[in-house]
Amino acid sequence: MQIAQTRLSIDTAPREIKEITAEVAQWTERQRISVGLLTLYIPHTSASLLVQENASPAVRRDLDAFLRRLVPEDVALYRHNDEGPDDMPAHIKSALTQTQLSIPVTDSRLQLGTWQGIFLLEHRASPHRRALVLTLIGDKA
């Protein structure tokens, strides 16, 4: 059994739902693990992670529209408004999605489903450089 860890840097656009499957898969494949578990962790409170359908861009737009309706940017609803009207909704959207994802690995490959991609959700209205910590535990091939 082995463990490997790395930190990636991801640049986001405002409110972007950004697919990061390729970057994550490339690092994972280089570790040459026959059977393992990859864990992604995002050390931020206004951006989050999600496994979601990656074939249709309309799915991402509908998910974004749903989250905006559910968590409106209306300062009358929140007390924590000093970092802008998008900040408290960003914390809530992060709470409703994931800070961490674990995905099985077999023969160096992520066991994602046919329609699954890994996404980083930027919940702020401005671009950010986000960190992502990957930890891979498993048997070497």
Enumerate binding residues for a second copy (CB under 8 A).
1-5, 35-37, 39, 41-46, 50-53, 56, 58-59, 61-63, 65-66, 70-71, 77-80, 88, 91-92, 94-104, 106, 111-116, 131, 133, 135, 137-139
Nearer to a second copy, 26 or 106 (CB): 106
In Å, what is the CA distance from 127 to each residue of 1, 122, 123, 138, 141?
39, 8, 10, 35, 39
- Do 72 and 79 form a contact (C-beta atoms < 8 A)? no
**E strand or H helix at 94:** helix 87-96
Minimum CB distance to a second copy, residue 8 (Å): 12
- In the complex, minimum distance from the CB of residue 38 to a second copy, in angstroms, rounded to a whole number: 10
Q: Which is nearer to a second copy, 26 or 74 (CB)?
A: 74
81: which strand partners?
none
